[in-house]
Chains A and B, each alone.
Chain A
Amino acid sequence: MFSFVVNRVGFLKDIPLFAIIFDSLMRFWMFFTKPELLDWIDDLEENVTQMPGTTVGIHKYGGTEFNYMGKEFAHVHSNGLLDILLNKELKQSLMTEGKIKDHHLFKNSGWISFYLQNKQDLGYACYLLNKAYDHTKQKQNSIQLDTI
């Protein structure tokens, strides 16, 4: 369903609130069909909020957005699809582990996608989020140093 909407009617995401409402309906569905997934998403959120300088918000295309100093480094959709921003080198090295995929839309970018399918995936998702956090923090700090 998610893939169908993203691939076939993805242009609708530009309608204000459409993607957020769609994500809320996925959340509604998951509440009844796979409630543990919402627990895992909450666990991810708690994990991220413990990292200094992070905030959690709503992603413009639906889901929960994780930011470092206001800069997004990951977001998770309510069907368990975790999109994470890494750099291309890091992405390549992690790809060899076979657990992550190209971002479901931006294949040639530093973004990757990882599906939370069971509780064991939570540990790896936190590991990926830590990597993305470190990467974004490093990048932000170097930008700050450059401006000084």
Chain B
Amino acid sequence: MSLNKKLFKVLNSKILQGILIANIFAFLVIGIQSSLAPKDTGILVFSEFVIIPMLMGIITAWFWKDIEIRGKQITGYSILNGLIAILMSFFFLGEGFICLLIVSPLIFGFIISGAFIGRAMFKKRNQKLNISIGSLLLGIFIVDSLSDHYHENMVSDEILIHASTAEVWQHVVAFDPISQKENYWLFKIGMPSPMATTVSEHKLGANRKCIFSNGYIFDEKIVKFDVNKNLIFDIVDQPKDPEIMGHIDIKRGQFILKDNGNGTTTLIGNSWYNLHVFPTWYYDLWAESITRNVHFRVMEHIKLLSER
């Protein structure tokens, strides 16, 4: 068979057509949605991770409805479909590797579900049902895209340190580089982790810098400086990292030192953030987990320095 014939056969394949059209559809919808957005908020609504992948699956099912295709093949081709979408997000939307790793269960889950829901829909050959489902998904997408999205959360952790509050305070305001090995799997695979903190002066209004493992710096300003008790800092500038850019804004951090009266201190770390990716029931799990591990990496280090 000549190369031209082979190419024609491949392009004419319903499998490939389904995958191509599904991906083109997804990027067109995201493109149109972004261009119609009133302002560049960077918010990614839940429809983009739920409705679009599901519609991608349903589109492939429509292309595959008249060919003999088994469930295992549907699964395999749907995974390929999702991989292409993820790769395109990496190259064209500038998303980071870890960010895509986090989003991938949603993409694969909804694309595979969409393909099987589509198969069941098109088997019934009930146009009314198909149009109803399509309209419902489209309606949810439009309403979701036009709705306001705002989510703020606070994560709090505490640790017991066998040292006085005065000793702990010295290492809370600023601390030397962390030398301990990473033990959180996302840090191990490349997510930046906190390394050191510097401060311009030990007083209210001073500039603080939190330096991450990849060299990124969070610029902070001390807004409460209650010696040996309470340190609050606002994040005034954060790096434009593809893993976090536009997805999460860390707003404020706090360390509270509680004197336990027996030579020990309870150190409480609080962080406030705004999440710009939805659904929050999914992304907040990740945001909380990451924030918690940032807290513990810093607080374990403070404990080590204070108890030395």
Q: Which A residues are closer than 8 A to B by beta carbons?
A: 17, 20-25, 27-28, 31, 35, 38-39, 41-42, 45, 55-58, 64
Q: Which B residues are closer than 8 A to A by beta carbons?
A: 70-72, 75-76, 79, 105, 108-110, 112-113, 116-117, 120, 123
Our pick among A24, A31, A35 for the contact of B109 (Cβ within 8 Å) is A24
The answer to whether A58 and B109 have CB atoms under 8 Å apart is no
**Which B residues are CB-close (under 8 A) to A41?**
71-72
The 7 tightest CB contacts between A and B, nearest first, are A38-B72, A24-B112, A42-B70, A24-B113, A21-B109, A25-B109, A42-B71
**Which A residues are CB-close (under 8 A) to B70?**
39, 42
Among the interface residues B70, B76, B113, which one has the most CB atoms of the partner chain A within 10 A? B113
- A41 CB to closest chain B CB (Å) equals 6
- Bound CA–CA A41/B75 (angstroms): 12
**Which A residues are CB-close (under 8 A) to B117?**
20, 58
- B60 CB to closest chain A CB (Å) equals 14
**Which B residues are CB-close (under 8 A) to A57?**
120, 123
A31 and B79 in contact (CB under 8 A), knowing A24-B108, A38-B71, A42-B70?
Answer: yes
The answer to whether A35 and B112 have CB atoms under 8 Å apart is no
A45 and B71 in contact (CB under 8 A), knowing A20-B113, A21-B110, A25-B108?
Answer: yes
Our pick among A17, A28, A39 for the contact of B112 (Cβ within 8 Å) is A28
The answer to whether B72 and A21 have CB atoms under 8 Å apart is no
The answer to whether B75 and A38 have CB atoms under 8 Å apart is yes
**Which A residues are CB-close (under 8 A) to B105?**
25
The answer to whether B116 and A28 have CB atoms under 8 Å apart is no
- A1 CB to closest chain B CB (Å) equals 13
**Which A residues are CB-close (under 8 A) to B71?**
27, 38, 41-42, 45, 64
**Which A residues are CB-close (under 8 A) to B76?**
31
- Bound CA–CA A27/B77 (angstroms): 13
For B114, give the chain A residue with the smallest CB separation. A24
- Bound CA–CA A45/B70 (angstroms): 9
